[in-house]
A and B are shown apart, each in its own frame.
Chain A
Amino acid sequence: MKQCWVIILGVLFGISLLTNETYGHGVIGKRFFPATLVVDDPFVSDELDLLKVNKGSKNADGTETSVGSEFSKRLTPDFDLSVGWQYLFQQPTDGRPTSGAGNPEFGFKYVLARSPEHEFIFTTGFDAEVGGIGPARVAERISTFAPGLLFGKGLGDLPDSLQYLRPFAINAQLQVNIPSRRRTFTTTFTEDGDIEKDTEHHPTTIPFGFAINYSIPYLQSFVKDVGLPAPLANLFPIVEFNFETPVSGPGKKLTTAFVNPGIIWVGKYVELGLEAQLPMNKVSGKNAGINALVHIFIDDLLPNIFTWTPWGVIGPTPPPK
C-alpha cells in the first residue's frame, strides 16, 4: 500500500511539471474556487472525482479507509445531479479487517444566488445514501437523507490597503443527516440457546465545515505578479475544518472535529489535492489521517459530450457587465 502511495504521489507531481496551464472550473467573477476535499463546494458542474481517498484517524471503533469516485452532471447552468460510490476498508478495534463496496450516494445541487462582483455564490443541495445495497459488514442497512446549504465567498472586494488578503476565499457547508430509521433491533440466539436482543441507534447528525484557501493564481493575476513559476503558480494552500454533531441518540453532543491542512494544485483539466486529517478532540481519534483527490474538469476536457443536455448545450455563464 505504501508503494502505491509513493507511485501515485510521484505521478501527480510529474503531471504538475508537465504544464503551467491554470484551472478550469468553479468560476464566479474573476475567482476560481478549487473543489475541496472534505467540505463540498457550492458550484454546480460537470466534474468527476476520479479518485477520492480518505484514510481516517483511529478512533474507538477502529480505522476506516475509503476509496471512491463521484460524477456530477449539469442539467441547467444552476442545477446538477451527482452519483458517488466508495470502496471501504475497515479495521475494527475488536474484530478482523474487512472490506467491501459501500452504499451508492445520489444528490443534487441548485444555485440560489450568485454575485460575480462580490465573488459570492449560495447553493442548496440534497444527498441521499441508499441503504442496504453494499454488504452488511461495511455498509449501513438504513438510508440517510441530507439536505444542506453551501456558500462560497472570495475576498476580492477588500480595499487596496488589504490587497494581499484578496486571494483568500472561503467555502462552507451545513447539512442535516436524517436516517430513515432511528433504531435497528436485532435478535440472535446464542450457542447456549439464550436470546440476545441488541439495539443499534442511528442518530440524526449535523455535519458542518468550512475551507479557507489562498489562491496563488489570483495573487499573481490580479494583485501582484510575485514571479512564482509553474507548478508553484498553480497552488492553493488550504485548510479545511469539518465537524459532525449527533443531535439524537446516546451519543448526543459528542462532536467529532477535524482540521485538514493541505495543498491543491489546479491544471487546465485536472485538479490534485492532498491533506492531512488531524483530529481535534478525543472523540475524533488519536492519529493523523490522509485525504487525497484526483479531480477532472470533464466539460473542459470533452466539451462536446459533457456540456450536452436533453434540452440543449449549456453555454458559459456570462460575465457581469
Chain B
Amino acid sequence: MKPLGKRALSSFFALVLSGTVFQTLAQAHAFPVRSDPRVGWTVALSPSKVTIWFDGELEPAFSTITVFNSAKQQVDKGNSRVNDPDASVLEVDLTPLPPGTYHVFWKALAKDTHVTQGDFTFAVDKK
C-alpha cells in the first residue's frame, strides 16, 4: 500500500503541476466573472454602458451584448464590442435609461470557438 500511495501522490503532483502550466497555454469556454452594473443590483443613475468581464479572451465578431427594457424594446446603442486592449471585456453603450428594470443578454465566443451565453437584470432607481 505504501509504494502505491507514493506513486499515486507523485503522479498526482506531476499532473496538477502540468495542468497549472497548461492553464497559461490553453483556452476554453469564456464565462463571466463580474459586470457593471452588477447582476441583480439597482443603480441610482442611468449607466452609460454595460460592461462584462470574462475569464478568457473573446472573438470580437461573434460576441455581443443587447439590453432591453421591460417593454422588450432595445435600449442599447447597438455598438456591442470587445474592449480593444483587453479582449476579455465585452461592453455596449446605452441610451439614457429612465427608472425601471432592464434585461441584459450576452453571447460570448471564446478563442477556441466554444460559445457561452447568459442573461441578467439590473434596475435604475425610481428616485
Contacts and interface: CB of A to CB of B under 8 A. Distances in A.
Answer yes or no: are A and B bound together in one complex.
yes
Interface of A: 1, 4, 7-8, 11, 15, 18-25, 27, 29-30, 32, 50-51, 67, 87, 89, 99, 217, 220-225, 268-270, 294, 296-297, 300-303, 315-319
B19 interface: yes
A156 to B, nearest CB: 10
Contacts of B26: 269, 300-303
Interface of B: 1, 4-5, 8-9, 12-13, 15-16, 19-20, 22-23, 26-29, 31-35, 38-41, 55-56, 107, 112-120
Given A21-B55, A27-B29, A269-B23, A222 B39 contact: yes
Contact of B56 (A11, A21, A51, A318): A21
Nearest to A48: B15
B120 A222 contact: yes
Main DSSP-derived SS at the B contact region: mixed
Contacts of A87: 4
Given A67-B8, A301-B28, A303-B26, 19 more contacts: A1-B5, A15-B16, A18-B20, A30-B117, A50-B15, A99-B1, A221-B118, A225-B34, A225-B41, A269-B23, A269-B28, A294-B12, A296-B15, A300-B112, A301-B19, A315-B113, A316-B115, A319-B107, A319-B116
Main DSSP-derived SS at the A contact region: mixed
A22 B31 contact: yes
A266 to B, nearest CB: 10
A267 to B, nearest CB: 8
Contacts of A29: 117
24 contacts: A4-B9, A11-B12, A15-B20, A21-B23, A21-B33, A21-B56, A24-B28, A30-B116, A50-B12, A51-B8, A51-B12, A221-B118, A223-B40, A223-B120, A224-B40, A225-B38, A225-B39, A268-B28, A294-B12, A300-B29, A300-B112, A301-B26, A302-B22, A317-B115
